[in-house]
Amino acid sequence: MAQITLKQIGHSYSGGTRPGDYALCPLDMTWHDGRTYALLGPSGCGKTTMLNIVSGIVTPSQGRVWFDQRDVTGLPTARRNIAQVFQFPVIYGSKTVYQNLAFPLVCRKWASDRIRRKVGEIADLLDLGAKLGKPARGLTADEKQLISLGRGLVREDVSAVLMDEPLTVIDPQMKFHLRRKLKEINDRFKLTLVYVTHDQDEAMTFASEILVMSGGRVVQSGPPEHLFEFPQTTYVGYFIGSPAMNFLDAEGQGDRAVFAGIPLTTAYPGDRVPQGAIRIGVRPEYLEFVATAGENVLAAMVVDVQDHGGVRIVEVEVGGARVKVKLAREKPVPEGPALLRLPPGKIRLYRDGELVPLD
Amino acid sequence: MPGLYRTLKYAAVLLWSAFVVAPLLWALTTSFKTINGVTGGATYIPWLDYKPSLEGWRELFNTSGTGVNIGQPFIDSAIVTLGASAISLVLGTLAAYGLSRFTYRAGFIRNRDIVFFFISQRIMPPIVLAIPFFLMLKFLGLLDSIPGLILVYIALLLPIAVWVMVDFFNNVPREIDEMAMLDGCTPIGAFIRVVLPNSLPGVVVAGLFCIIFGWNDFFFAFTLTFTRTQLLPVAIVALNSTVTPWWSLSASSLISVAPLVVVAFLVEKFLSRGTLAGAIR
Ligand SMILES: Nc1ncnc2c1ncn2[C@@H]1O[C@H](COP(=O)(O)OP(=O)(O)OP(=O)(O)O)[C@@H](O)[C@H]1O
Ligand SMILES: [Mg+2]
């Protein structure tokens, strides 16, 4: 495995250099050896482009790619030793499962008994041992995805494993199984893994670090807890967490954030609260119903309750806005009018969509 | 209701088969007739209606010098057709892969225009090409020769091969090539070791078209040969004389159709199987 460094990497498919032309805006990025990263973002934000630049399928219009101390920008895909799994399973339809798994080793001109041993070992790991002689085209989607992954794992010392939404076409129950399998392999091999997904649960399962992308930029990166607690922008607040973070239009006055005429206490030092139009962000997990009025307690009206099994999502109207509250199942759900408390320590302030730093 | 549907279906298939097979059967019976069996009104059943004779077939392999012999034209036709088809297939497959995977630009010309240029070669009526081909072959000293015919047939078959294969490669997902390169292939290695084996049905279809068009061509075989070289379609027409020899014409037609029927049976499984579908997902 290798450490992967992107230096001022940017790409525009049209070749134009105006800001709107970039599928991936110039950025610096380091992926450390043996760590797992999740790339999260909506369709078309440049996730695949970034992976393809690392594996050499796309030649970036600017910047350099480094693996450890080596500049690989000019190296063809074949010499970068990257394992990549695409969104749709790619198998060599004219070959058997065994031939599919052995193909990278055949390309590397390994001796046939060495290939047989290695393929056998990886096939057992992936539970494909019994299917080795079958034509690969007859397998199910999840087995094909495992073959894609297997072709990466049979190789000795791949630089990194890149997975581009590998579970999109997998049935829900198989998805769970495959996700666990991937996690197991990841823990065992200490892969340098970059995992693209739309799905934040999946991102949380795998990643020690999450990168949220939007419009060709990395908006925020960090450990999952950090992104959850301190979304850098309202966009990240919407994107991470389920349901999304609540945002309320408010106004900064002195050291208070005033919402619907009520001044709220926050954890911000007095001189940090921006004056004028701001937004208050607070996670549905941190809102609580209380019995008595007090500091940061607002009069609210329950409009809707959704049962999500372990939790309930309660939608309330407060000060002309709608917010969602996530309650553990055992907590009582009020009906009609209620009192809602915003814990000061969990309030984040946003100005022009950007988080106002706490310190 | 399903029973009725089945009956109708089989009836339709039978009707169509009769439609296809009848002319062949007609030719087959005719090939065993003599002049009496043909001119005396329609006859159908050998031994009852007419006396079968091998005269028609014997005339085709007349080695005595005075008659015709379609043996050599048959062999020449096979050489020209197979040679031109093989070369067209190799060149066409390579060209099609390039046109499908890489972007070419020359002024306002794009990949699409290049593909259209290939196809446009077949839009022109052959008569337009006859004189240029004639002059070019004359210049090369290849008139009335097998290499000359192969050259001309490549020009005719290449567009077909390119056209079929471009369409085929466009339907082979790019990810296959990319995956092969990730696995350690060079771009050419990816084409030869992964994309081509995956595209075998396309190659077979393109090859089939080439063989059919090449084997059946009469026009160029006729205009570009004189005495030394004669291809099968021309030889068959040459059988005709003041008294039309229906029996030997029928026999030779059957001989000329036979190789295509054999080829059709050989490649049938490639045509009916959805081989491409398994390549991805
Ligand atoms: N080969 C290409 N040629 C031109 N534009 C492209 C090409 N591939 C991607 N793009 C554009 O670049 C942008 C980023 O695409 P990319 O595939 O990286 O997005 P993504 O984040 O992977 O999206 P998705 O979640 O849908 O896979 C998109 O606007 C897309 O339309
Ligand atoms: Mg993508």
Quick one: pLDDT band at residue A16, thresholds 50, 70, 90?
confident
Q: Which of B216, B242, B178 is nearest to A56 (CA)?
A: B178
Give how many domains chain B has, as a whole number: 2
Rounded Cα distance, A242 and A283, in Å: 9
Rounded Cα distance, B152 and A249, in Å: 78
| Predicted local confidence at residue B279, as pLDDT | 38
Q: Is residue B228 part of a domain?
A: yes
B30 with B135, same domain: the answer is: no
B24 with B97, same domain: the answer is: no
B75 with B49, same domain: the answer is: no
pLDDT in tens, A25-43: 999 999 999 899 999 998 9
Quick one: pLDDT band at residue B161, thresholds 50, 70, 90?
very high
Q: Is residue B65 part of a domain?
A: no
Rounded Cα distance, B180 and B190, in Å: 5
| Predicted local confidence at residue A206, as pLDDT | 82
A23 lines ligand 1 (CB under 6 A): yes
Rounded Cα distance, B113 and B110, in Å: 5
Rounded Cα distance, A303 and B7, in Å: 63
Place of tokens 């008139």: B143
Rounded Cα distance, A226 and B144, in Å: 83
Please state, rounded to an integer, the average pLDDT across all residues of chain A.
92
Rounded Cα distance, A23 and A12, in Å: 5
Rounded Cα distance, A163 and A148, in Å: 10
Architecture of domain A243-355: Beta Barrel (2.40)
Pick B90 or B44 by higher pLDDT: B90
Please state, in angstroms and as integers, the Cα–Cα distance from residue A226 to each residue in A204, A218, A237, A240, following that order.
Answer: 12, 15, 11, 11
> Are A90 and B197 an interchain contact pair (Cβ–Cβ within 8 Å)?
no
Using the Cα atoms of residue B223, residue B228, residue B233 and residue B238 in order, give the sign of their dihedral. Answer: positive
User: Quick one: average pLDDT of B210-216?
Assistant: 95
| Predicted local confidence at residue A203, as pLDDT | 87
User: Quick one: average pLDDT of B137-161?
Assistant: 95
In this structure, the number of other CB atoms found within 10 A of the CB of residue A179 comes to: 18
**Above 60 in pLDDT, residue B8?**
yes
**Above 70 in pLDDT, residue B280?**
no
User: Quick one: average pLDDT of B22-51?
Assistant: 82
B102 with B10, same domain: the answer is: no
| Predicted local confidence at residue A223, as pLDDT | 94
A1 Cα to chain B: minimum distance (Å): 15
| Predicted local confidence at residue B1, as pLDDT | 66
Rounded Cα distance, A63 and B279, in Å: 35
Rounded Cα distance, A262 and A292, in Å: 16
Please say whether the beta carbons of A63 and A13 come within 8 A: no
* Residue at A107: amino acid letter: C
pLDDT in tens, A149-173: 899 989 888 899 999 999 888 888 8
Q: Is residue B264 part of a domain?
A: yes
Pairing label, strands A256-259, A209-214: unpaired
In sequence order, which residues have a C-beta less than 8 Å from that of residue A189 and are 6 or more positions away? A153
Q: Is residue B280 part of a domain?
A: no
Name the burial class of residue B16, with classes exposed (0-12), middle (13-18) and buried (19+) by CB atoms within 10 angstroms of its CB. Answer: exposed
Rg for chain B, CA atoms, rounded: 24
| Predicted local confidence at residue B78, as pLDDT | 96
pLDDT in tens, A302-353: 999 999 888 999 999 999 999 999 999 888 899 889 999 999 999 999 999 9
| Class of domain A4-237 as given by CATH | alpha beta
A13 lines ligand 1 (CB under 6 A): yes
Number of H helices and E strands in chain A, helices first, is 8, 21
> Are A76 and B200 an interchain contact pair (Cβ–Cβ within 8 Å)?
no
In this structure, the number of other CB atoms found within 10 A of the CB of residue B161 comes to: 29
Q: Output the DSSP codes for chain B.
A: -HHHHHHHHHHHHHHHHHHHHHHHHHHHHHHT--HHHHHTS---SBTTTB---SHHHHHHB--SSSS-B-HHHHHHHHHHHHHHHHHHHHHHHHHHHHHHHS---BTTB-HHHHHHHHHHTTTS-HHHHHHHHHHHHHHHT-TTSHHHHHHHHHHHHHHHHHHHHHHHHHTS-HHHHHHHHHTT--HHHHIIIIIHHHTHHHHHHHHHHHHHHHHH--HHHHHT--SS---HHHHHHHT--SS--HHHHHHHHHHHHHHHHHHHHHHHHHHHS-TGGGGB-
| Predicted local confidence at residue B281, as pLDDT | 32
Query: What CATH number should be reported for the domain holding residue B206?
Result: 1.10.3720.10
Q: Tell me the range of A45-59, A199-213, B17-31, B46-60 where mean pLDDT is highest.
A: A45-59
Q: State pTM to two decimals.
A: 0.82
Quick one: pLDDT band at residue B65, thresholds 50, 70, 90?
low
Rounded (10°) CA dihedral A288, A294, A297, A299: 110
Quick one: pLDDT band at residue B106, thresholds 50, 70, 90?
confident
Which residues on chain A place their C-beta less than 8 Å from a C-beta of chain B? 55-57, 76-78, 81-84, 86, 88-95, 103-104, 107-108, 135, 137-138, 141, 144, 148, 151-152, 155, 169
**Above 80 in pLDDT, residue B278?**
no
Rounded Cα distance, B26 and B36, in Å: 16
Please say whether the beta carbons of A248 and A319 come within 8 A: yes
User: Quick one: average pLDDT of B41-56?
Assistant: 80
Task: Please give the helix or strand (H or E) that residue A100 lies within, else none.
Answer: helix A97-107
Last residue of a domain, one of B53, B79, B96: B53
B19 with B138, same domain: the answer is: no
Q: Is residue B257 part of a domain?
A: yes
| Predicted local confidence at residue B271, as pLDDT | 67
Rounded Cα distance, B228 and B221, in Å: 12
Tell me the best of A9, A11, A49 to mutate to test the pocket of ligand 1, counting ligand atoms within 8 Å of each CB and taking the most: A49
B244 with B172, same domain: the answer is: yes
A49 lines ligand 1 (CB under 6 A): yes
Give the Å distance between the CA of A237 and the centre of ligand 1: 24
Quick one: pLDDT band at residue B201, thresholds 50, 70, 90?
confident
Rounded Cα distance, A323 and A319, in Å: 10
Place of tokens 């008595």: A292
Q: Where are the domains of chain A?
A: 4-237, 243-355
Ligand whose nearest atom lies closest to the CA of A84: 2
pLDDT in tens, A113-148: 999 999 999 999 888 999 999 999 889 988 999 999
Rounded Cα distance, A235 and A219, in Å: 9
B108 with B32, same domain: the answer is: no
Give the Å distance between the CA of A47 and the centre of ligand 1: 8
Percent of chain B with pLDDT over 90: 57
> Are B189 and A86 an interchain contact pair (Cβ–Cβ within 8 Å)?
no
| Predicted local confidence at residue B6, as pLDDT | 93
**Above 50 in pLDDT, residue B276?**
no
Give the residue numbers spanning the domain of B27. 2-53
Task: Please give the helix or strand (H or E) that residue A349 lies within, else none.
Answer: strand A348-351
B133 with B49, same domain: the answer is: no
Task: Pick the atom of ligand 1 nearest to A41's CA.
Answer: 21
Q: Is residue B63 part of a domain?
A: no
ipTM of model? 0.82
In sequence order, which residues have a C-beta less than 8 Å from that of residue B193 and are 6 or more positions away? A103, A107, B180, B185
**Above 70 in pLDDT, residue B67?**
no
Q: Is residue B146 part of a domain?
A: yes
| Predicted local confidence at residue A171, as pLDDT | 83
A88 lines ligand 1 (CB under 6 A): no
Rounded (10°) CA dihedral A150, A152, A155, A159: -150
Determine phi and psi for B253, rounding to 5 degrees. -60, -45
**Above 90 in pLDDT, residue B51?**
no
Please say whether the beta carbons of A223 and A211 come within 8 A: no
Poorest-pLDDT segment among B44-48, B105-109, B152-156: B44-48
| Predicted local confidence at residue B277, as pLDDT | 41
Determine phi and psi for A160, rounding to 5 degrees. -165, 160
**Above 70 in pLDDT, residue B59?**
yes
**Above 70 in pLDDT, residue B224?**
yes
Ligand 1 atom 20, closest CA: A44
Please state, rounded to an integer, the average pLDDT across all residues of chain B.
88
pLDDT in tens, A58-83: 999 999 999 999 999 999 999 999 99
Mutual angle of helices B146-170 and B126-140, in 10-degree steps: 130
